[in-house]
Amino acid sequence: MSLAFRRFFILLIPVAFVCYLVSCNTKKSTCVVLDVAQKPFEKLSDYNFFAGVMNELKPNARVIAYDLNTPLFTDYAQKARFIYMPDGKTIEYDTTKVLQLPVGACLIKNFYYQNDFREKAGSPKRIMETRLLVHRAEGWDALDYVWNDEQTEAMLEDAGDIKKVSWTHYDGTKREADYFIPNKNQCKGCHWNNSTSITPIGPKVRNLNRDFVYDGVSENQLTHMAKMGVLKNAPALPTQTPKLATWSDSVNYSVNDRARAYLEVNCGHCHNPKGPAYTSGLHLNLENANLQNLGFCKAPVAAGKGTGNRLYDIIPGHPDKSIMTYRMASVEPGIKMPELGRGLVHQEGLDLITRWIAEMKPEDCKVN
Ligand code: HEC
Ligand code: HEC
């Protein structure tokens, strides 16, 4: 071998090693493998989002766990959510809209049922799905990976499905449900940006402003992301940042704040002036301050079975006469609200909205 050749090889070894570290293109590494210009992997494990045994959902490098103050109800499924941020990219702090994640980022939402909800986190569970929103150069792509019964792998599926699940509930009762796996079109039904494109929903500053336990240490999620260098220009203190109420926390929040947070997250992604339910004129997003658009003494746009012969979406003081509670208490297609994503009644959510309406100053709406 000539000297020049030998020099070339000696140089090549460190270069190859550095490339290996940066691109993390091996399954054994602790790095995520995601090229948003490529078509999606068939197998969830190929992304390498999780370290070690995949079903323990332990995040790899640059995969940041988060939780929400108020989440979406989906038949009592428990969730483990993560943001994957590509190296060197950042997110600008913004309280006016959902955080604008860079191209190359991915949101990861795992749906599971612990066998017994009374056990602590990490006890035996069945993971149903891992849903991804991948930020490609041309926009967000929605992908669904359905877990096998052995809990070793999840495969890409577009068609949707229904699976039986059972668990022991917080109150010790045995529960079961027909667990609903949405098809690709249904993702768009909720993650609606406009009729052709989709958007993330949950990662808004106010809903992220809470603590999370990272490796045994509790820290505010926004502070954690700022310290990682991922979130830019966030105020120094979480108290300087807006905070969405926790819908179930009756100690720290008023019934009104809890109800508005519940409606924002469970209904507001469709019921807002630009959402798929905008024609109803019922705007349940947090920003809406107009009482009639919130449903007060508002007649529904469509008569028929979705009203239960009730006249207004909300009659203050009268939950039993309001369409809102009627539709939340139904599991029938064409009546139930939300119209997608649940087969069971969310009793605790319905109780909250019932109490909210009951505590309003009673009013007899005028028919006009
Ligand atoms: C019934 C409405 C609904 C449907 C259908 C739905 N989502 Fe979502 N999704 C939400 C809401 C609301 C949130 C935010 C609240 C939460 O995470 O609890 C969310 C959160 C997510 C997240 C976490 C990031 C974010 O946007 O908050 C991902 C990833 C996701 N969904 C992917 C999907 C995919 C993929 C599908 C289709 C297979 C889908 N979703 C179908 C309503 C829906
Ligand atoms: C996936 C989108 C979607 C979600 C989520 C959703 N809705 Fe709706 N909603 C619609 C659509 C579309 C209509 C109009 C058609 C109809 O009345 O069925 C509607 C209509 C309604 C109406 C009748 C409004 C009127 O004045 O005509 C009420 C009340 C209602 N929804 C309540 C709720 C509540 C409460 C939630 C959350 C707990 C919710 N919806 C979540 C899509 C949605």
User: Which atom of ligand 2 lies closest to the CA of 190?
Assistant: 1
pLDDT at 36 over 90: yes
Residue of 192, 199, 260, 271 with the most ligand 2 atoms within 8 Å of its CB, for mutation: 271
Q: How far is the CA of 81 from the centre of ligand 1 (A)?
A: 10
Band of pLDDT at residue 19, cut at 50, 70 and 90:
very low
> Per residue in 75-111, pLDDT tens?
999 999 999 999 999 999 999 999 999 999 999 999 9
Q: Does residue 276's CB lie within 6 angstroms of at least one atom of ligand 2?
A: yes
Beta strand spans in the chain (E): 63-66, 78-84, 91-92, 106-114, 125-136, 139-147, 154-156, 161-168, 174-181, 211-214, 217-220, 231-232
Angstrom distances, CA of residue 348 to CA of 4, 27, 122, 306? 74, 43, 24, 22
What is the DSSP code (8-state) at residue 116? B
Across the chain, mean pLDDT equals: 91
What are the two backbone dihedrals, phi and then psi, of residue 169, each rounded to the nearest 5 degrees?
A: -80, 170
**Higher pLDDT residue, 296 or 305?**
296
What distance in angstroms lies between residue 221's CA and the mean position of ligand 2's atoms?
Answer: 31
Give, as one character, the DSSP assignment of residue 102. P
Q: Is 327 in the pocket of ligand 2 (CB under 6 A)?
A: yes
Which helix H or strand E contains 10, and what residues bound it?
helix 3-23
Write the CB contacts of 304 (distance below 8 Å, at least 6 apart in sequence).
none
CA pair distance 141, 144, nearest whole angstrom: 10
